[in-house]
Structure 1
Amino acid sequence: MITYKGAFFWILLLILVSGTMLAPEASAGGAPNTEQKSVLWKVSGKGIKTSYLYGTFHLVPKDQFALPVKVKQKMIKSETVVLEVDLDSPELTRGLNKAMRMAKPLETLMTAQDYNYLSRFVQDSLERSMMQFRFIKPGFLGQLLLYPKLLGYSPESYDLALLNLAKKWHKSIYTLETPQEQLALFDQSTLEIQTSQLLNSVKQFDKQRKLMKNMLALYQQEDLEGLYALITAQNSDESQNLLLDERNEKWLTPLVAMMKKSPSFIGVGAAHLPGENGLIQLLRAQGYKVEPVLK
């Protein structure tokens, strides 16, 4: 039984991997990595309190989850914890319930042959019946069906782990996006485009499994540049702008304001940190010192 809160964790991973589940296979490419490898970065300089920027991987298999000691050490010293969204928000659960649903059944969006192919995949590979998913939008359904198979049915969430620690340590908690803003990211394309992407993802499932394995390996190596290159190689410019670049620009002002008020620990999806339009470079362009925390 998939709960709506559980469903959101599957779908939240889309923010990190953007369109990688849907795109044709591509090589990583990109510029050579000149930065030292780290998922945790120290931010300091004019007018701000020393703060830390941490790149998360929204969901990982349970046996591969490990929150680095250096992350806990820097977080406990911070006064404010900044996250993308409040994962415990009842409004988020209600919004997801509404956003996932569509009026017409899934079989009306594809040929009978494609629907039968999808139904067989769900039954044979996932041991589920399509009947319970017929009125869920294809863009959401792809995440609900495929990510559990890729990651296991009891994965760990770095974002939820940070939220729980922030509450345990009585930190002030600030979120960068409302539930409505976060949910809107999952519904940017038409049902027809979502349907085509869902069918492509099912037909290329073995490639998606390999891609996810490579992404996890790069993250565990703290290779943000390599992870970013792999993700951007799969994405369209439109997807890149919508899910990463535009959000980074929007987040920059409130992040700086928060760091001016108190020492802050900022945890956002790892793909938001590297790149020319990533938070590391945006902060440096504002004159702040951003350096990797190696231990």
Structure 2
Amino acid sequence: MPGATWRALARQLRAGTACVALAIPALAAQAQGKADPAPACPPAATPIGPADAEAARRDDRDRGLLWRIEKDGRTSWLYGTIHAAERGWVLPGPAVREALRRADRIALEVDLMDPAIAGGLAAAVMPGPNTPPLPEPLARRLRVQSEALCADASLARLRPEIQLVSLVGLAARTTGIDPAYGIDLFLAGLARAMDKKVVSLESAEAQIALLVSDDPAKVARTLDEGLRQLEGGQARKIIATLTRAWAEGRLETLRDYGDWCDCLKTAEDRADFARIVDGRNPALANGIAAQHAAGHSVFAAVGVLHMVGVQGLPALMESRGFRVTRVPHALPGARADRPSTAR
């Protein structure tokens, strides 16, 4: 990126335009305690600012996975994101910046900076009249993990499955991976700083509905398995492996997620994963294709596990008549957006 563009980004950050993304009450980011004095707690996240932009300029590298998709003489992009990251990863590298610059709109799973969507999310995560109470042994284990991970006390008001998802998001904060630095969250703010239109491909209510149940037995199974992963340190290892594979663009590691995560051991586990990840992909692909067909150049940023396999978004866009090309990480100082044969 030319020096003038870096300076413009630094000015935008200084003005706070992009930083507001960090204040959105997203699930795990909201769960983080504000200022817990306990020495075992990691420091609270702080907004990205001009000093971060300067550091990124000195260490200008791409992270994540980017594809160029072309149809009807127009170009759009698919970008696989992660919902928790290291602080130094949030500012985009050369290839991603170029794609963002060329796009006229940014498509996210949900735009949490849209007040209507944020309000819908806030309502959807609260217990409903049919939400079953947790058995006390599970409730006690959940409280123990919440305290161990320095979660905000307000987390206890949410549905049990949402508490669990939020705690999993906090599990790797001691290693510097924090949901407050989630890539989607930052892109929502950066898009506004760049005067780009932001659209949501899904609703917050639909996303939450995939994660929760009013069946007491299913809720108990979900909580027991998730708490086992937290208690044994497995959740932290999964997040660390997944996020570093994302940062390094290791598509093969992401493709093999089910082999190394040790989290898809039962038929029910695999069915839930297929429903929550692959099951959403056709509608996501249709939404991206519709934006492109309407004459837009779209930068579609969606969780990276939606990008892998025969049901991943690159494959689905190809089946919809797009020419799909993986964009490799640009070398420092090299021209971005070079083609690759990798899928």
TM range (shorter): 0.7 to 0.9
Residue matched to 1:24: none
- Work out the number of aligned pairs and report it: 264
Do 2:84 and 2:179's aligned partners in 1 also have CA atoms closer than 8 Å? no
The reply to whether residue 39 of structure 1 matches residue 58 of structure 2 is no
The reply to whether residue 6 of structure 1 matches residue 25 of structure 2 is yes
Deviation at 1:199, TM superposition (A): 3.2
Do 1:118 and 1:199's aligned partners in 2 also have CA atoms closer than 8 Å? no
Residue matched to 1:183: 208
Amino acid at match of 1:257: A
Residue matched to 1:225: 252
Change (3 A) 1:62 1:192: farther
The reply to whether residue 88 of structure 1 matches residue 110 of structure 2 is no
Distance 2:201 2:138 in 1: 39
Distance 2:151 2:28 in 1: 19
SS in 2 for 1:184: helix
Change (3 A) 1:194 1:228: farther
The reply to whether residue 240 of structure 1 matches residue 273 of structure 2 is yes
Change (3 A) 1:90 1:195: farther
Distance 1:51 1:168 in 2: 20
Do 2:28 and 2:165's aligned partners in 1 also have CA atoms closer than 8 Å? no
Amino acid at match of 1:110: P
Do 1:83 and 1:268's aligned partners in 2 also have CA atoms closer than 8 Å? yes
Deviation at 1:165, TM superposition (A): 2.1
Amino acid at match of 1:270: V
Distance 2:126 2:227 in 1: 21
Distance 1:160 1:249 in 2: 23
SS in 2 for 1:267: strand
**Superposition RMSD on alpha carbons, in Å?**
3.2
Change (3 A) 1:257 1:230: same
Residue matched to 1:173: 198
Larger deviation: 168-177 or 214-223? 168-177
Choose the corresponding residue for 1:137, options 142, 153, 159. Answer: 159
SS in 2 for 1:193: helix
- Structure 1 residue runs of 5 or longer lacking an equivalent are 12-36
Residue matched to 2:302: 268
Deviation at 1:171, TM superposition (A): 1.7
Residue matched to 2:87: 62
Amino acid at match of 2:228: K
Residue matched to 2:340: none
Do 1:103 and 1:135's aligned partners in 2 also have CA atoms closer than 8 Å? no
Residue matched to 2:339: none
Change (3 A) 1:184 1:210: same
Deviation at 1:254, TM superposition (A): 2.8
Residue matched to 2:317: 283
Do 1:224 and 1:271's aligned partners in 2 also have CA atoms closer than 8 Å? no
Amino acid at match of 2:143: S
Residue matched to 1:255: 288
Distance 2:168 2:316 in 1: 34
Do 1:38 and 1:293's aligned partners in 2 also have CA atoms closer than 8 Å? no
Residue matched to 1:32: none
Change (3 A) 1:48 1:275: farther
- TM-score normalised over the length of structure 1: 0.76
SS in 2 for 1:265: strand
Which structure is richer in relative contact order (CA contacts within 8 A, separation 6 or more)?
1
Change (3 A) 1:116 1:9: closer
Do 1:119 and 1:129's aligned partners in 2 also have CA atoms closer than 8 Å? no
- TM-score normalised over the length of structure 2: 0.66
Distance 2:82 2:151 in 1: 27
Deviation at 1:197, TM superposition (A): 2.5
Choose the corresponding residue for 1:148, options 170, 178, 184. Answer: 170
Identity over the aligned pairs, expressed in percent?
22
Distance 2:64 2:142 in 1: 40
Amino acid at match of 2:296: S
SS in 2 for 1:147: helix
Deviation at 1:42, TM superposition (A): 0.9
- Structure 2 residue runs of 5 or longer lacking an equivalent are 1-21, 31-62, 331-343
Distance 1:5 1:190 in 2: 30
